[in-house]
Structure formats: structure tokens, C-alpha cells
Amino acid sequence: MKIIEFISEFQDFCFLSARGLLGVTKKPFYFKDMIEQMDYVGAGSLFIVLLVSLFIGMALSLQLAAELSALGLKMYIGKIVGVAVIREIGPVLTALVFAGRVGSGMASELGSMILGHQIDTIRVFGVDPMKKLVTPRIVSSIIMLPLLTIIGDLIAIFGGFYVAVFVSRQSGTFYWSSIREALYFENVLSGIIKPFVFGYLIACIGCYTGLSTRGGATGLRRATTKAVVASIIAVIICDFILTRILLYVFGFSL
Amino acid sequence: MIQFDKVSFSYGTRQVLQEVSFSASFDERIAILGGSGEGKTTILKLMLGLLRPESGRVLIEGEDIAGRTEDDLRAIRMKFSIVFQEGALFDSLNVKENVAFCLREYTKMSEEEIEGKVKELLGIVGLEHDQDLMPEELSGGMHRRVAIARSLASFEPKMFLYDEPTAGLDPVNAEIICQLILDLCEAGRGFIIVTHKVFDALKVAERVLFLRGGRVIFDGGGKELLRSSIPEIQAFLGELRFDGKGAGIME
């Protein structure tokens, strides 16, 4: 029974994800809702992304300095920070922060709309909740998460620079030239592709769990928790799959 | 004409409706009475195609609405206007925007026209000076009144559906809502009011359906309901006998 339920739920999720995205191809277009969502998911998440990225960049640089100085390889701090942040840590970290803030927010907002009969009201008024509520959330997440990731990457690299120069006493010029070396096309592209997929996944999971809320306050709590947990798991699994594919496509030898 | 033909429905393992059958015309004033969890709201949702019956048929003007797509159901839903329990106002919109929701969705009215229409509708429910308030700033009664104004803005409904419109309200506000319900059905439009408040139901409706154990155990006028010897109904009417309201209604 559980397997059948899971398959049925997964099927509903796929259906919502597809319809939510395809909503951009058909009128009406809810531009105002999209802008509001962009403000919530993008501008609203900026501060926490900046904060987390800065400290992760600094911590990474510190760890590398501690290990590499023993080997006399401290000059590689910049390059390793650059590659790690741009290709892996930046996209995943920003996506996890995004899942915690935005995924849970979407699930709780839509869940309370379900419980308060607001979604039923929208349906009775002849408005498609998928187009009015899901599509703007998916589109805004797909646009804003990559932007947040780029900003987060820059701040993490800056955090790494601060530690490399003022704690490890490295040359700032050398740090930045190492970073520039890490900024080649394949690296940047692989770091940029991931957030598009992560943003789509997080928004779909948040909307799906929110719209399938049942059972009052306990149901809402369950939906919100499920949205965050499922988003984190999806991001991490998807990151591995994407990394494997991108390394293969860009011809990195393993 | 609305027809329920042996409609059954359950939430998971809990059977809510068992072969419920009744019919109603759009100009009737009907109250569906029953205790909590007896499936009163479910009937309204089935009528609008928001839920699908497990078995049986729901016919609106002779058309079975089960199995229809959301696009097909839109035309059927436009025949009704519903006010859900506690109003179901959109939290992120103020009173004016809530009422203007359908006007913005379906009409090409200018902002000035929308503003004028919203003011007119809020005037009907006596809230023309509260346009800029957010839903969290409204009392329970104001919530329902805004929801009624919003339902009037939607289309030209043939029938109004009210889900517990007076639940949780003080007698003064409940009276205001009941009077509004009666005022709005003057143009030959009927309503179905779902409630567990016998007094309010008898005040506004000319026909009462009583739900118990997933079945309609009574279908008739208010006076017959008061004279009914069915024990479940007798128990329900205890409230009226206790405060003497029953005698007034009988008169």
C-alpha cells in the first residue's frame, strides 16, 4: 500500500512540476504575482545568503590554510577556494539556505491557503491555482536562485580572500590571480547550471507539499517539515547526478 | 436544478455521506442542518465540483459534473457564488483588493471603474469605509461581510452558497449576516446555507435538510422540523426550547 501511495504521490508531483512550468506558455500571465514572488524569494533571501556564504568562504580558507601550510602549498588556497566555491559549495549551500527559507515558506503559505479554503475560493472563481500560485513561484525561483548563487559565490570568495590575506598572510594579488585561473568557462557554467535545476526542484517540492496539506495545524507542520527535508535530499542527490553529468560533458578526467 | 442522486463520499476510511439524494431549484432558500462532521460543507463542495463523489451523481441543470475537467467546471461554478466558513479572504490582499479580485481577473474595467464598483459592493455590506484594512484587522463578522461583497463581484450567480456564515459570531453580527443573506436573494436568486445554528437556519430558510450519520433524515419546512418527532432532531432543537426561541419562530 505504501509503495502504491508513494508512486501515486510521485506521479502527482511530476504532474504539478510539469504543469507549473508549462504555465508560462499560456495566458493569463501573472506578472505582478511573479514580481512579488521574486522579491520574496530573491531580495528576501539575500541577507542570509550573504551571511552564510561569507562565513563558509572564511572557514574554507582557514581549513585549507591549516592543511596546506604544513605541505608548503599555501599559494593554492585561492585556486582551491575558487574551484570549490564556484563548482560545488556555492550552488549547494545557496540551494540549502533557499530550501530552508523559501521551500518552507511556500509550503506553509499554500498549506494555510488550503486549510483556510482560499484555494477552493480561487477555483470557484474560475482561476487556475496552478497558474496563479504555482507558476509564479517556480519561475521566480528559477530566476532568483542562480542570481543568489552568483552573489553568494562572490561573497564566499571574498571571505576566503580576507582569511588568506589577513590571517594566513598570503599575497592578495596572488589570491585573486588564482581565482581568475579558476574562472574558466566550464567551471563557471557548471556552477551556473545547477542553481536553475535546484530552484525548480525546491519550488516544485514546496508548492506540492503545500497544496497537499491535510489535517489542520499538525498537517501544516508536517507539510512544512516535509518540504524542507525533501528539498534538501533532492538538492543533494541532484547535485551528485549533475556533477557526474557535467564532469563527463566538459571532459574532466576522473 | 441541482440534483444529488445517491451520492456517497468519504474522507479516507471515514464515510461522510451515504447515498444522499435530494433536488433543489436555484430560487429556493434552503438550510442544511446537522452536527459537526456530518458532511454539510462536503455537500457544497460536491455541488461545485471541488470534490468528486465516490458513487452516485451530482447533476447541475441535468449535467453530471463528475469527471469533468477544471475548465468545464468553470462554467458550472459561475452559476454559484460561495462564501466559505470564516470568509476565506486572501491574507495578502486588503479588503478592496479582495473584493476586486474577480473584477481584475475577468473584466477589462479601468482602475476608477473597479474602485467605484468595489465601493458600491462594500456599501451593500456596510463596509465602504474599511477598504484599506487587511484581513487580520477585521472582526469575524466583517470577514463574512467582505466575503459576501467579494462573492457579489464575481459573476451574476443564480444561487448563493453559504458555509456556516454565522458560526462564531455574536447575535448582533449574526443578525446582520442573516439580513444580508435575505436581502441578496430578493432578485429571485436562492441560497443554500449550511449551518449548525437552528435559529439562524429557521430564520432565513423555507426548506430544511437535516443530515445525520451521512444521510438526509429530514427534508421539509421549518415548522415541520420543529414538530418532528425524530429523536436526533429533537436533541438538536433542545437549544431552541431552552431559550424559548422556538416559540417565536413558530409564530
In a domain, A7, yes or no: no
Tell me the average pLDDT across B8-27: 90
Domains of chain B, by residue range, sit at: 2-85+158-250
Does residue A233 lie within any of the structural domains? yes
**Residue B244 pLDDT exceeds 80:** no
The residue segments making up the domain with residue A41 are 29-249
How close does chain A come to B30, measured CA to CA in Å?
A: 20
Flag whether A214 is in a domain: yes
Single pTM value for the model: 0.86
Q: By the CB < 8 Å criterion, does B76 face chain A? A: no
Per-residue pLDDT at A1: 60
Handedness of CA A44, A50, A53, A56 (dihedral sign): negative
Q: What is the pLDDT of residue A161?
A: 93
Q: What is the ipTM of this complex?
A: 0.84
Tell me whether residues A125 and B45 touch, CB distance under 8 A: no
Does residue B68 belong to the interface with chain A, where contact is any CB pair within 8 Å? Answer: no
| Domain total of chain A | 1
pLDDT, tens digit (0-9, with 9 covering 90-100), for B115-156: 999 998 898 888 888 889 999 999 888 888 899 888 888 677
Residue of A nearest to B80 (CA): A124
User: Residue B33: what are its φ and ψ, rounded to 5°?
Assistant: -105, 155
- pLDDT-derived band at A16, boundaries 50, 70, 90: very high
CB-based contact B88 A124, cutoff 8 Å: no
Asked whether residue A16 is domain-assigned, the answer is no
- Average pLDDT over chain A, rounded to an integer: 92
Distance in angstroms (rounded) separating the CA atoms of residues B125 and B165 = 14
Q: Is A120 in contact with B50 (Cβ distance < 8 A)?
A: yes
Q: Which residue has the higher pLDDT, A237 or B82?
A: A237
- Distance in Å, alpha carbon of A187 to nearest chain B alpha carbon: 41
Q: Does A28 sit behind a cis peptide bond, omega within 30 degrees of 0 on the bond before it?
A: yes
Considering only CB atoms, B105 lies closest to which of A116, A124, A127, namely A127
Question: Are residues A126 and B78, on separate chains, in Cβ contact within 8 Å?
Answer: yes
Specify whether the CB–CB gap between A49 and A144 falls below 8 A. no
Q: Is residue A228 part of a domain?
A: yes
Nearest chain A residue (CA) to B71: A126
Residues 95-124 of A with CB under 8 A from B: 112-113, 116-118, 120-121, 123-124
Measuring CA to CA, how many Å separate A137 from each of A114, A202, A217? 16, 10, 23
Question: Is residue A72 one of the residues assigned to a domain?
Answer: yes
Cβ of residue B199 closer than 8 Å to a chain A Cβ: no
End-to-end CA distance of chain A: 42
Residue B222 vs residues B14, B30, B165, B176, B198: alpha-carbon distances, Å: 30, 10, 19, 21, 10
Give the pLDDT confidence of A137-159 residue by residue, as tens digits. 999 999 999 999 999 999 999 99
In a domain, A92, yes or no: yes
| Of B84, B171, B90, residue with least CA distance to B138 | B90
For A17-31, A103-117, B222-236, which range has the lowest pLDDT when averaged over its residues? Answer: B222-236
Q: Which chain A residues contact residue B50 at CB under 8 A? A: 120, 123-124
Q: How far is CA B7 from CA A59, A125, B50, in A?
A: 64, 25, 14
Asked if residue A2 is part of any domain, the answer here is: no
A157-201: pLDDT as tens digits:
999 999 999 988 888 888 898 888 888 888 888 899 999 999 999
Are A118 and B90 a contacting pair at CB < 8 A? yes
Q: What is the CATH number assigned to the segment(s) B2-85+158-250?
A: 3.40.50.300
What pLDDT score does A27 carry?
Answer: 83
